[in-house]
Structure 1
């Protein structure tokens, strides 16, 4: 047990609208924090949306009394009917109809948090998500200091890839950004927080005027107990190198860039295979593109992989590729490095912050073709240079084990910050 827990137990309420291992992404963050708080002797409780109640009770059967839930504050009657039957595009419909329902839910969440703080003499509240710095904060005046984050967001598309976003999202995004300052006044949780953690300077700049302290601390981490490497495989001249992609199949992940890179490798006579794991809104288009590709026999789409099977699945790869052009975070990059896999990522957003270059390659480009050629060059180098592959894998192991990324060390860091907030007083 960490030395942090040798002091009097710290009473923490973890609050998250979304808390789920199955959903992954930012919904997995509160599960990670809550589990590690409990492991370190923290008197922790978790408050989340009740859609996750069954799953969380399965994950924490011995701590069911520490799990608390808030039901959705759906708006009924004519309003709900108009939402369901509206002919507006889904993004515009969400922009117009989601805020009233969300405000009502946040009121319930705040009321429940205040009650738990009072009932259990909670010393500090840790709000884990939403992680967007532009989302208004629904928690304030709780009777205990509030720590928010780490937050991560405000990412623009990689230069040259603005068309990846649907045309309607441009004006909608501009409208949302104009409304954001007003919403932060109506829901001033982030502005009144005692401490806000931002994953990077980009996120810090997107925050509203925060009265409390703002500190930079990485949003994502990696569980080094789960993501453990096997011995780094020696390259086998009789076996083609296997590259892997694991993630949602959405347009801005740019998986088709990897298809084109594989075509280029084939033209160069380099034997390689690509395994794509995941599902998403771009799945059908990508399946058709793979089937019609000149490198179709090298492209393998496997569908959804459960969270608990992801590490074992990835161990079958020799290297990992992530060509996302609008990725705030990219925890899967850290997970790949923790397995000792060399990585090839776009030189943009979260992945570019995690990868220094020693762990593989950061690839730039102002068009899909240019990016694909950069990926092909990097993938080809890994395929043909055994020493490079080994050095990159070993560098990735060291990088993933740093304090900012190792979930156990992150938990110790966070508990120290929470204690500091409590010692300073205030609510």
Structure 2
């Protein structure tokens, strides 16, 4: 049977290159098994893709002459603001899109055709696209954007707030002017907040699909190392950047509170960032130097092993748009604990862990410590939450499930015709 021809647009795409790049990679590496896929991506991804030996039909768009100097200029202007650097660097997405449009239009004039165009990265409506003008039925997403700021925590997340945020607003405006949503047959959105960012006239075209997924072959279910208890150590994991918005300081204080009540707790921290030294010093000052271990950045296999070696994953992030690490922990059959805002609110509930309210810092620490104490007091209940978490991942968030769902949309669109 002849395979359907899919044009996959992934500005970020590469195995092991980061969260959004991993999203692009997962779509490409899995779709190509069942479809005739042509990938369009940035030339900076070429080395990673060539190592994968999956490069039969890849179109590389070279805007590095603009992207490289732009990134270095942004780092010079904002050496301590990752968010500002990201916003400035994202201007290259627009040039990439325009360059891709002209390359693909030339190929179409030579008689090359595709049945569906699917743009999977970037994952925001603030990155407009002119590719809908190619007259190939287009799917956008899954998208995850539009998340605001949690009320009452502006001081804690000020480092994530940039004076350049109006640049993002200009991206949304350009999206409307260019007609990105108008030209899309389907718009995949990760949550209601993102759907609300879609112009009202095109919201009926929205289909819910989480932008993140889990590779079940990388994150496998494993039993708890043992049942924690009053005399047995509760092992916890935190995975994320060590920046203020991730809220690791709340978890450190919660561990200190449990320790003062006589419980034995061990926290493994995977990730790096500007606050590592400060938070290590905080742990030392609280007498937790042996209980809280900072491992720095770990590879995907190392993260999976770390999760499988612990009892629960805790992500007390104040502003988390996605939360892929929560899905990975759930795939390892680990219960998860997070705050009730943004992406975690879409995937965490009492069946798979605990979603804690966000009133103030002291309340977060109290709720974290009481929740962790409940794991020690009711380990069977929390082990069951981990089992349910794995089932939910298999049913809703595994990459094979997401790709199959996308395949159904392809069939619908192809059946609709141009």
Is the CA contact 1:73–1:104 (under 8 Å) kept in the aligned structure 2? Answer: no
3-state SS of paired residue (2:181): helix
3-state SS of paired residue (1:65): coil
Cα deviation, 1:246-276, whole Å, max 9, x if unaligned, reads: 1222221111111011111111111110000
Query: 1:300 deviation in Å?
Result: 0.7
Is the CA contact 1:91–1:169 (under 8 Å) kept in the aligned structure 2? Answer: no
Is the CA contact 1:184–1:191 (under 8 Å) kept in the aligned structure 2? Answer: no
Alignment-derived partner of residue 48 in structure 2? 55
Query: 1:25 deviation in Å?
Result: 1.4
Tell me if 1:281 matches 2:271: no
Q: Aligned partners of 1:322, 1:92: CA distance in 2, in Å?
A: 20
Alignment-derived partner of residue 288 in structure 2? 295
Tell me if 1:129 matches 2:118: no
Q: Aligned partners of 1:343, 1:10: CA distance in 2, in Å?
A: 39
Alignment-derived partner of residue 406 in structure 2? 414
Cα deviation, 1:2-56, whole Å, max 9, x if unaligned, reads: xxxxx641111111111122223122112111121122x2111211111111111
Q: Aligned partners of 1:356, 1:96: CA distance in 2, in Å?
A: 32
Alignment-derived partner of residue 24 in structure 2? 30
Is the CA contact 1:249–1:279 (under 8 Å) kept in the aligned structure 2? Answer: yes
1:226-305 aligned at under 5 Å gives the runs: 226-235=218-227, 237=229, 239-305=232-298
Tell me if 1:155 matches 2:147: yes
1:11-410 aligned at under 5 Å gives the runs: 11-39=5-33, 41-59=34-52, 61=53, 63-72=54-63, 74-75=65-66, 98=89, 101-115=92-106, 120-166=112-158, 169=161, 171-173=163-165, 175-176=166-167, 178-208=169-199, 211=202, 213-235=205-227, 237=229, 239-402=232-395, 404-410=396-402
RMSD: 2.9
Does the C-alpha gap of structure 1 residues 44 and 189 become closer, same or farther in structure 2, counting only changes over 3 Å?
same
Is the CA contact 1:150–1:196 (under 8 Å) kept in the aligned structure 2? Answer: yes
Aligned length: 415
Q: Aligned partners of 1:228, 1:92: CA distance in 2, in Å?
A: 33
TM-score (norm 1): 0.88
Q: Aligned partners of 1:73, 1:206: CA distance in 2, in Å?
A: 30
Query: 1:130 deviation in Å?
Result: 1.2
Where structure 1 has 5 or more consecutive residues not aligned to the other structure, the ranges are 1-6
More deviation, 15-24/113-122:
113-122
Q: Aligned partners of 2:35, 2:180: CA distance in 1, in Å?
A: 24
3-state SS of paired residue (1:243): strand
Q: Aligned partners of 1:33, 1:100: CA distance in 2, in Å?
A: 24
Q: Aligned partners of 2:368, 2:274: CA distance in 1, in Å?
A: 24
Is the CA contact 1:191–1:209 (under 8 Å) kept in the aligned structure 2? Answer: no
Query: 1:159 deviation in Å?
Result: 2.6
Does the C-alpha gap of structure 1 residues 180 and 241 become closer, same or farther in structure 2, counting only changes over 3 Å?
same
Where structure 2 has 5 or more consecutive residues not aligned to the other structure, the ranges are none
Tell me if 1:425 matches 2:401: no
TM-score (norm 2): 0.90
3-state SS of paired residue (1:46): strand
3-state SS of paired residue (1:162): coil
